[in-house]
């Protein structure tokens, strides 16, 4: 599972404050914690700062990479902010995210075209939020083929089928999960990723539903997540689910996690 | 006490009972305004209150609204001309560039449940469309939703356009990244962090 640590997001109050105060130590602590907990990418987002986003995003990349070898996921729809951050990034980052919304697609495609950047492809278009498997696949087809045509490698694409909340429509869980299955069988070698906490919007005990949903999605092929890697129970669920899905040879990761105390709560 | 039964039936999301009870009250010549205000709308207010307190959750709010609506459908042909407009018209939509509709739909639904005449413009609505809808429908409140930090500036644009058009309609804003401070900054008339709060806000602004 590719884990994209989501905690360095300016819309989280403590992080927003740290960015504004240019408090490198506070940001570095969040970066290191996520790195140690098993994050593969450290997401950086400075979206709430209109006008200052390029400057802050660049600062976040430099600040995070001073203490972590993990690449960043550069989280912005603004091509200027992304390019500023890319200029200082070491290694191969992820772009979070392109979508089929016209502006976003046209702004981000030139940045990823012909590069080795990883890119999250979010199943959203100007026609609104997709609800069914078919809605999502129509968008995914156009997005993936557009990226391939622009010389982005299939294995660098992470399709996010867009999680919608169960509380308003009880089909939303399985429509998402069945899309994961269809994507991984249609485009073999592609990745999937999602921020899945939206599934439990409007319900209590959200962590419990999020964990269960993660396990169900992994069974159908989900192999990337934008999440909080410090959530120990979620991490344990992922490790067990990947073993059960046959993605963990001889259950070696599972055993390693056991010995590291990852199943002790 | 039958109006109390209607209230209870909405509170327990029992659509079939709501229909039966409203029909029975109509036949018993109970005051229609009382059925509407004390029974159906009263129950939705209670649902909203319990939701805000964390006792009820989104699916329950949806089910209650559906039960309320089924009762309202039976009442409608009997309501006096213009009664639906009497509580005021609310124009609602998600601002330009933003396609999120779930929060906006919840607010629209609770506004309907409170007896407002609701005109839902959908998502990705530009300022001119809000202005035209508010003007054409003599709206008392325009409710703007935004779920992205990148689309919050469109709330400002929309409120500016409403003021430039000379409309006195009240403007209210909401959505995950929106705060009271932002609402003050863009000179919105009000902000709420949940759907029942938006209903209370609309009532207060219309009464003022």
CATH value at residue B158: 3.40.50.280
Q: Which residues of A touch B100 (CB under 8 A)?
A: 129
Cβ-count burial B169-179 (b if 16+ within 10 Å, e if not): bbbbbbbeebe
What is the per-residue pLDDT for A254?
98
Contacts of residue A103 in chain B, CB cutoff 8 Å?
A: 97
Determine the Cα angle at A225 with ends B98 and A9, to 5°: 55
B122: closest CA of chain A, how far (Å): 10
Task: Point out the residue among A11, A124, A168 whose CB comes nearest to the CB of B62.
Answer: A168
Q: Quote the pLDDT of residue A50.
A: 82
Asked if A204's CB is within 8 angstroms of B57's CB, the reply is: yes
Nearest CB to A203; choose among B58, B99, B124: B58
Q: Does A169 touch chain B (CB under 8 A)?
A: no
The shortest C-alpha distance from A247 to chain B (Å) reads 35
Kindly give the parts of chain A with pLDDT less than 70: none
Domain boundaries, chain A: 1-75, 92-260
B122, pLDDT greater than 80: yes
Q: CA-to-CA distance for A240 and A243, rounded, in angstroms? A: 5
Q: How many domains does chain B have?
A: 2
Tell me what pLDDT residue B78 has.
Answer: 87
The pLDDT value recorded for residue B85 is 55
Residue of A nearest to B97 (CA): A126
**Residue A62 CB coordination number (10 Å):** 14
> Residue B138's pLDDT is what?
95
The answer on B95 and B15 residing in a single domain is no
B59 touches chain A (CB under 8 A): yes
| Among chain B residues, CA nearest to A9 | B149
Using the beta-carbon criterion (under 8 Å), do A201 and B123 form an inter-chain contact?
no
Nearest residue of chain B to residue A124 (CA atoms)? B99
**What are phi and psi for residue A228, nearest 5 degrees?**
-90, 105
Please indicate, yes or no, whether residues B74 and B93 belong to a single structural domain of this protein: no
- B177 and B157 in a single domain? The answer is yes
**Are residues B66 and B122 both part of a single domain?**
no
- Among B68, B70, B83, B66, CA closest to B32: B83
State whether B108 and B138 are in the same domain.
yes
Question: pTM value?
Answer: 0.90
Residues B123 and B71 in one domain: no
Quick one: tokens of A27? 């940001």
> Which tokens belong to A181?
């299955």
For residue A202, the chain B residues in CB contact (below 8 A) are: 57-59
Which CATH number do you get for residue B44? 1.10.1240.10
Spatial separation of the C-alpha atoms in residues A174 and A197, rounded to whole Å = 15
Q: Which phi and psi (to 5°) does residue B176 adopt? A: -45, -50
Domain that holds residue B24: 1-80
CB within 8 Å of A46: residues ≥ 6 apart: A10, A19, A52, A53, A56, A57, A60, A76, A81
Q: Give the pLDDT confidence of B169-205 residue by residue, as tens digits.
A: 999 999 999 999 999 999 999 999 999 999 999 999 9
The torsion angles phi and psi of A137, rounded to 5 degrees, stand at: -65, -35
Per-residue confidence band for B102, with pLDDT thresholds at 50, 70 and 90: very high
pLDDT in tens, B59-95: 999 999 999 999 999 998 888 766 655 789 999 999 9
Q: What is the pLDDT at residue A128?
A: 86
Give yes or no: residues B39 and B95 share one domain: no
Same domain, B110 and B53: no
Is B124 found in the same domain as B97?
A: yes
**Smallest Cβ distance to A167: which of B58, B99, B153?**
B58
Instruction: Answer yes or no: do B57 and A203 touch at CB < 8 A.
Output: yes
Q: What CATH number is given for A92-260 in this structure?
A: 3.20.20.20
Task: For residue B120, give the H/E element and its range.
Answer: strand B117-120
- Out of A103, A164, A167, the one facing B57 most closely (by C-beta) is A167
| Portion 88-147 of B in contact with A at CB < 8 A | 97, 99-102, 105-106, 123-124
Of B59, B80, B101, at which residue does a domain stop? B80
CB contact at 8 A, A48 and A85: no
To probe the interface with A, which of B54, B55, B59, B175 has the most A CB atoms within 10 Å?
A: B59
Half-sphere exposure for A30 (CA within 13 Å, toward CB): 24
| A101 vs B: CB within 8 A | yes
Same domain assignment for residues B136 and B60:
no
Of B62, B99, B150, the CB nearest to A128: B99
Chain segment A214-235, per-residue pLDDT in tens: 999 999 999 999 999 999 999 9
Q: Are residues B95 and B182 in the same domain?
A: yes
Per-residue pLDDT, B185: 96
Phi-psi category of residue A163: left, alpha or beta, with phi > 0 → left and psi -120 to 50 → alpha: beta
Residues of A in contact with B62 (CB under 8 A): 167-168
Q: Give B150's pLDDT tier (boundaries 50, 70, 90).
A: confident
Q: Provide the pLDDT for residue A71.
A: 98
Amino acid B82: pLDDT: 60
Q: Give backbone dihedrals phi and psi of A121, rounded to 5 degrees, phi first.
A: -110, 100
Distance from A218 to chain B by nearest Cα, in Å?
26
Best probe of the A interface among B63, B99, B176, by most A CBs < 10 A, is B99
Question: CB–CB of B15/B69 below 8 Å?
Answer: no
Specify whether B48 is located in the same domain as B100.
no
B101 CA: distance to closest CA in chain A (Å): 8
Q: How confident is the model at residue B141 (pLDDT cuts 50, 70, 90)?
A: very high
Among A47, A167, A202, whose Cβ lies nearest the Cβ of B149?
Answer: A47
Contacts of B102 in chain A (CB under 8 A): 164-165, 168, 201
- Which residue among A11, A129, A165 sits closest to B149, beta carbon to beta carbon? A11
**What pLDDT was estimated at residue B80?**
74
Where does a domain end: B46, B80, B114? B80
Cβ atoms of residues B72 and B41 within 8 Å: no
Between chain A and chain B, how many beta carbons pairs sit less than 8 Å apart? Answer: 45
């Amino acid at each position: 599972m590719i884990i994209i640590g989501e905690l360095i997001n300016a819309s989280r109050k403590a992080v927003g404050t740290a960015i504004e105060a240019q408090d490198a130590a506070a940001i570095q602590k969040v970066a290191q914690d996520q790195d140690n907990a098993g994050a593969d990418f450290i997401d950086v987002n400075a979206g709430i700062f209109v006008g200052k986003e390029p400057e802050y995003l660049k600062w976040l990349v430099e600040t995070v990479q001073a203490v972590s070898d993990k690449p960043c996921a550069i989280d912005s729809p603004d091509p200027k902010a992304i390019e500023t951050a890319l200029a200082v990034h070491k290694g191969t980052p992820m772009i979070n995210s392109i979508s089929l919304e016209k502006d976003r697609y046209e702004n981000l495609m030139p940045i990823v075209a012909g590069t080795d950047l990883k890119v999250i492809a979010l199943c959203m278009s100007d026609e609104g939020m997709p609800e069914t498997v078919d809605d999502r696949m129509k968008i995914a087809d156009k997005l993936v083929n557009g990226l391939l045509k622009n010389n982005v490698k299939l294995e660098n694409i992470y399709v996010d089928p867009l999680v919608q909340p169960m509380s308003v429509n009880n089909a939303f869980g399985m429509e998402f999960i069945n899309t994961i299955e269809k994507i991984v069988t249609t485009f073999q070698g592609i990745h999937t990723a999602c921020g899945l906490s939206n599934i439990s919007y409007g319900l209590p005990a959200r962590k419990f539903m999020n964990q269960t949903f993660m396990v169900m999605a992994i069974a159908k092929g989900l192999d990337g997540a934008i999440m909080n890697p410090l959530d120990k129970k979620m991490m344990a669920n992922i490790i067990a689910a990947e073993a059960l899905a046959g993605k963990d040879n001889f259950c070696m990761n599972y055993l390693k996690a056991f010995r590291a105390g990852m199943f002790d709560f | 006490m039958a109006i109390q039964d209607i209230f209870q039936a909405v509170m327990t999301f029992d659509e079939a009972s709501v229909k039966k009870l409203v029909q029975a009250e109509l036949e018993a010549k109970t005051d229609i305004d009382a059925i509407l205000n004390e029974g159906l709308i009263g129950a939705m207010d209670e649902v909203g209150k319990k939701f805000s307190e964390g006792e009820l959750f989104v699916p329950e709010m949806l089910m209650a609204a559906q039960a309320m609506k089924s009762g309202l459908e039976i009442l409608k042909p009997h309501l006096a001309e213009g009664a639906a407009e009497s509580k005021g018209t609310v124009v609602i939509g998600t601002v330009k560039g933003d396609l999120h509709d779930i929060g906006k739909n919840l607010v629209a639904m609770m506004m309907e449940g409170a007896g407002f005449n609701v005109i839902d413009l959908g998502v990705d609505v530009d300022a001119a469309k809000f202005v035209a809808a508010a003007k054409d429908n003599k709206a008392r409140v325009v409710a703007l939703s935004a779920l992205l930090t990148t689309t919050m500036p469109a709330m400002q644009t929309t409120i500016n356009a409403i003021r430039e058009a000379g409309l006195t309609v009240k403007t209210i804003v909401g959505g995950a990244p929106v705060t009271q401070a932002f609402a003050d900054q863009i000179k919105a008339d009000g902000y709420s962090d949940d759907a029942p709060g938006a209903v209370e806000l609309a009532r207060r602004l219309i009464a003022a």
